[in-house]
Structures are given as structure tokens and as C-alpha cells.
Structure 1
Amino acid sequence: MTFKPARLLVALIAIATAPAFAQNLAVVNGKAIPSSRADAVVKQVVAQGQATDGPQLRDAIKKDLIAREVMMQEAIKQGYDKNADVKLALENARQTIVVNALARDYINKHQVTDAEVKAEYDRFTKQSGDKEYHVRHILVENEADANAIIAKLKGGAKFEDLAKQSKDTGTASNGGDLDWANPSSFPPEFAAGFTGLQKGQVTDKPVKTQVGYHVIKLDDVRPAKLPTLDEVKPQIQEALQQQKLAAYQDEMVKKAKVQ
């Protein structure tokens, strides 16, 4: 049996187009869904730890993409793609995707070095100091009220009892307890108020901050329990990456002609 010219042409066309169709996940009302789209979803889902790659996952994704395509076609048929709000949302999404691609590429080309991480860690440990302080405080509205509390404490009143009148409602019920912390966790003027105290001592003058006047008591001091470099390295890398990206953005904004 020999092929007639027409049949031969059909066969050749089928062979030529087979690889292209093989790259499609499905064809919905004549619109192809490329397999690469499913592969991208699988990669994202697996990377997020939501599932493992396999027939079950791919079948679920295929069904979802087909359903999406059906709904998309119907939405276009009804003219939703021409809706002003939809067009604005699409443009915003497009801008976000493109900008994120630029950001990822910039970060990949400007990796944070181990030396930069070490320098940031050293700065952090120096700022934190080598001691932690367990302090209590009573916060009041004005200096006169703070001086009155100090006078009562000198007269033998218990700090925990007087703390009940503190404006800091989060600590008033537990004796003004601020727990263990290093001085860098507090406003500088507040930290300066207790770092010079001895254990059990109370400030002899009110300490003023932007929220009011404080009477501070130092319960105890201990060596600081700072994390090791290896423990915080990922967080430092992430923070430095964001700083580099922010600096790059600021540089681009400064160069732009904004009217």
C-alpha cells in the first residue's frame, strides 16, 4: 500500500507538530496550556514544602489549571479583561512581578559576604554589651508624682505595691517587671538610668523619656547570653540583603527624573 499525496502531507504535518503538542498539558477549547506552566507550579509547591512531586500532585495541578483556563476563557468572553479595575490590578501585578525579578537578580549579583556578616555581628554584640539587666519600673505622668514615689520607697514602701499605679498597664500587675534585657533594648535615657545602679537599688531621681517619668529598680545583673554567629547568620544575611536592595532602590530614585 502506498500513501497518496494528500495522506502523505497529513502524515508529515502530524510528525512535525507532535513535539509541540507533547509540550502541552492540555488544550481547552483550542487554547493550549503549556506543560511548563504545570512544572512551574510543581516547583513552587515542592519548594514551599506543601507536597512532594508525583503523579497525584501533577494530576491535581492539571485539573486546577484546566479549571482556571475554562474560567479565564469565560471571563474574557464576558468582557472582564476590559474592566477598568481588573486592568489596573493586572498592571499592578505585572509591575510587582517585573520588579521582584529585578530585585532577585540584583541580590544574586551582590551577595552578602562572610566578612560583611561578621562585621554586622560584631557591631551587634558591641551594641548589646556583655551584661543583661533585670529591671522594674513605675511609669507616671509627671516628675512630681515620680518624686513622691521615690520618697515613699525611701520610707520603706514596697516597689511592687507602688507599681500598681504605673501607667504601664502591661507591667503594673506584676510589680513593674521588665524581665531580663540588655541596655540596647531600651531608649538610651532609660538605659542610662539603671546601668549605674547596684543590685536592689532604685533611681534617686526620676528618669524622663518620651512616654513620661520612670522610677527604676535594678533587681539583678548577669553576663549576656548572646547568640553565636552561626545561630544568627541567616537572619543577618537577610537583613543585609534588604539593606543593599533598599540602597539600590534609593540610588535609582535619586537618578530618576520625577516631575
Structure 2
Amino acid sequence: MKKLIVAFLLAVTPMLGLAAGGGVPLDDADIDLSDQASLQRGAKYFMNYCLSCHSAKYQRYNRMAKDLGLTEQEVIDNLMFTTDKIGETMNIAMTAEKGTEWFGNPPPDLSVIARARGVDWLYTYLRGFYLDEKRPFGVNNRVFPDVGMPNVLWQLQGDQKAVYKTEVHNGTETEVLDHLEPASEGTMSAEEFDQVARDITAFLSYIGEPIQMERKRLGVWVLLFIAVFFVMSYLLKKEYWKDVH
């Protein structure tokens, strides 16, 4: 029994650490995958700000059109910048070699990033960039220290600066990040940018498992069937065993 408990703890510990974002409190993404307008906006922001460096090679444009309530022509006209074939996947022109040359590592594919990191982590990450002149692109991130990418949404959000506090551990004082404050204004208010981050997070959650809303819908019917079947099975059992009991 002890071995089973230890094995379980070893299995869940990495997931708990991932969900916690390395000890940084994560913000609640509060996404709604049934909100097609949010997913459509998320797709727009992803194509305009993310797809130039990050691919989503397991997602097809025509599947996105079907799931997001768009026509294929709308997708072709507004959301396709790297190919002219609606059946293609969301690939990019950047090679791994160029990505390594420009960023130190090739930018990862984002097809399943929401499943790997979690939506709260993504939402906090998108809102967590701050100025740091020590970094190559002049920014850092509070949930991904020493991140190797620029803040591509800075024009919308504006710049943020880090505010530190002093903590004492074993008699040693250490400066740790406390919170972020606005350093310059963007084209959006804080509330508007939060919605942008939420929309992008929702879209990334969708492409991580496009069938998930249908799966959840079917799951409700399966549970209802099991409930009805349980009642019928119980009544049948009572009928068969009534003479025995």
C-alpha cells in the first residue's frame, strides 16, 4: 500500500509543480470554449501576432473554420497568411536553424501548449511580461524567467515594470519579484488587454483538443444513459431475486 501511495505522489508531483507555474500564483483564465466570438478573436490575434514564429502544425484551417462558425472563404480572406490551401495545417516559414539563430532555440509548436502548460499558466504568461534590460529582447516574464522571446503584444498592453520586495531566508536577504506595474500605456486598457489574453488562451485551448466540446456534450448523454441503465438494472435485479430474498 505504501508503495502505491509513493508511486501516486511521484506521478502527480510534476503536474502540481507545472500547475503552480514554478511557485508563481497563476491568474484564473476563466475561458469559455462555447463562446465562438471569443475563439474567433483568439484566432485573429494568434494569426497576427503568434503564427509568424510559432506553428500549430496539428490544426487545419478548414477544421478551424467548421468549429469556429466561419466560412472557408472568411478564413482564406482573413486568417491565412502562410498558405493558400484551406486544407493545410498551420505551419510557418521559419526553419529550426533560423529560430535557433534568432532566439537561441527554435520557437515551439503551440498545438498542444494549453494541454502541456494549462490555460491558467498561458493566461498569466501572456500578461506577465515586464521590462528587463539584461535580457536580449529587453523583457522578462514572471512565470517563465529568462524567456527567450519578445513581448509581441506590447503595443496593445504597453510596457510593465517589476516591483521587488525583500525576503529573508536563513539570514540572507533576497530581492524577489512582488508584482508588476504599468510603465507605459498601450493602445488598450488593462481590461481590454486581459480579454485579448483570455481570447488567445481560449483559442490555444481549442486547438489543443478541437473535439473537447463535442466530447463533453457526449459525456453528458453517456452519464444520463448510465444513470438510466443503472435504474433499469437495479429493478431487473430485484425482479429476478425477489423469490430469493
Q: TM-score range by the shorter chain?
A: under 0.3
Q: TM-score, normalised by structure 1?
A: 0.23
Q: Higher Cα Rg: structure 1 or 2?
A: 1
Q: Identify the structure with the greater helix proportion.
A: 1
